[in-house]
Amino acid sequence: MTDFKILIADDEPGTIRVLSEILKSVGKIYFTTHGTHVLELAKNILPDIILLDIEMPDMTGFEICEQIRRDAMFTDTPILFVTAQNGIDQESRALTSGAIDFIHKPPHPVLTKARVSNYLALKRQTDELRMLSMQDGLTNIANRRAFDKALSREWQRACRSGHSLSLIMLDIDFFKSYNDRYGHLAGDDCLRAVANCLARHVKRPSDVVARYGGEELAVLLPGCGLEEAYDIAESIRQEVSRLRIAHAGSTLPSTITVSAGIATTVTLCQNTEICWRKPGGLQSGVPCGLTENNLIKRADRALYTAKNSGRNCVRT
Ligand code: GH3
Ligand code: MG
Ligand code: MG
Ligand code: MG
Ligand code: MG
């Protein structure tokens, strides 16, 4: 038994029974007899494949299919129609509404199982490729593409909701000389260890730890204000130095350390601003025409300040 999830929607319980019997060894079966319940149920269970009846009293299979296709959550989820109807018109309408294929009623056990299994295998490959396309190959944390997507999404959300959004940019200190002294393979191990340390440290599901580029790492903290982000960055800095990775070329404690810069959004009177901490309290940035790039620039500038303040420190 695999961990595939199969969602079946049909207003006839008899068809659901037959399909469940055929497919029970292929995956876990979820079902509904109400067309209007399909989208919500799909959002809850995140099925790997959806089998849809075309004729249902409350909503047609075509309408459901189009509704699911509009939702970005289900871009890669195959939808198959299960229908008693034959004919070019029905089939072409079904395929243009976003379904990948057909199963004819009454469902043939061998053909139905083979067809569903094939689409599930394809779905698994797509999931793997999608995951790989968002993951950094060296460190296994989110890559730059995933970071850019997350930042754009969270920036929009912060502007809409008024919640804070914090960004920590971190850079390994004297990493070039680490590579020169210990070799690039040891440098890779070090980068992996530091990335793991960050990933372990950041706990909320909405937080994103990413490799921004080279030996620069980013931590995106939705709903997190400047003070809290500062504490997180400071404790990451301490954790990294506790890894005690020897670095004789460092002028610091002769171990690998990181410097960090932080920026945070605050939304005031529907204007999103970027704030940073100065002695004497919070200061806020230019209020108009800001984009997520301003958050990166501000965090970068703070990182530059950290480097110029002797490294192995956090600046805002
Ligand atoms: P600073 O304290 O100012 O940050 O000094 P630095 O030497 O760390 O800064 P610099 O930007 O000059 O060097 C970054 C180095 O990181 C250079 C590059 O070879 C190394 N690097 C970037 N990506 C990788 C990687 O994937 N593996 C290894 N081993 N090294 C990398
Ligand atoms: Mg029906
Ligand atoms: Mg660097
Ligand atoms: Mg560096
Ligand atoms: Mg540098």
In sequence order, what are the beta bridge partners of 272? 267
The token pair that represents 132 in the structure block: 């790989």
Q: State mean pLDDT over 72-91.
A: 90
CATH class, 5-133 region: alpha beta
Q: Which amino acid is at 213?
A: G
Residue ranges with strand state E in the chain: 5-9, 28-32, 49-53, 79-83, 101-104, 165-172, 208-213, 216-222, 258-268, 271-278, 281-284, 314-315
187 alpha carbon, closest ligand: 1
Q: State mean pLDDT over 148-173.
A: 91
Could you report the per-residue pLDDT of 102-155, keeping only the tens digit for each? 999 999 999 999 999 999 999 999 999 999 999 999 999 999 999 999 999 999
Name the residue ranges covered by the structural domains of the chain.
5-133, 144-315
> What are the φ/ψ torsions at residue 139 (nearest 5 degrees)?
-105, -15
C-alpha distances (whole Å) from 183 to each of 100, 137, 168, 213, 256 are 50, 19, 28, 19, 14
Positive or negative, the Cα torsion across 96, 100, 104, 105?
Answer: negative
Cβ count within 10 A of residue 54: 22
CB 305 within 8 A of CB 315: yes
CATH class, 144-315 region: alpha beta
Q: ω before 47 within 30° of 0 (cis)? A: no
Could you report the per-residue pLDDT of 14-57, keeping only the tens digit for each? 999 999 999 999 999 999 999 999 999 999 999 999 999 999 99
State if residue 186 touches ligand 1 by the CB under 6 angstroms criterion: no
Whether the per-residue pLDDT at 275 is higher than 50: the answer is yes
81 alpha carbon, closest ligand: 2
Residue 117: partners with Cβ closer than 8 Å, 6 or more residues away? 26
Confidence band for 192, pLDDT divided at 50, 70 and 90: very high
Testing ligand 1's pocket by substitution, the residue of 173, 178, 179 carrying the most ligand atoms inside 8 A of its CB is 179
C-alpha distances (whole Å) from 210 to each of 82, 94, 136, 205, 280 are 42, 40, 8, 14, 32
Q: What is the ipTM of this complex?
A: 0.95
Testing ligand 1's pocket by substitution, the residue of 175, 179, 245, 307 carrying the most ligand atoms inside 8 A of its CB is 175
State if residue 180 touches ligand 1 by the CB under 6 angstroms criterion: no
Please name the residue whose Cα sits nearest to atom 21 of ligand 1: 214
Confidence band for 277, pLDDT divided at 50, 70 and 90: very low
Active site residue 215: yes
Q: State mean pLDDT over 162-168.
A: 91
How many helical (H) and strand (E) elements, i.e. helices and strands, does the chain have? 10, 12
pLDDT for the residue 279: 40
Please name the residue whose Cα sits nearest to atom 17 of ligand 1: 176
CB 134 within 8 A of CB 142: yes
Q: What is the DSSP string of 189-202?
A: HHHHHHHHHHHHH-
Q: How far is the CA of 314 from the centre of ligand 1 (A)?
A: 19
Cα 43 to its chain centre, rounded Å, is: 16
Q: How far, in Å, CA of 312 to CA of 291, rounded?
A: 29
CB 42 within 8 A of CB 68: yes
pLDDT for the residue 160: 80
Q: State mean pLDDT over 201-205.
A: 89
- The catalytic residue among 40, 91, 215, 273 is 215
The position carrying tokens 């079902």 is 31
Least confident of 30-34, 87-91, 183-187: 87-91
Residues with Cβ–ion distance below 5 A, ligand 3: 171
Q: Which atom of ligand 1 is nearest to the CA of 176?
A: 7
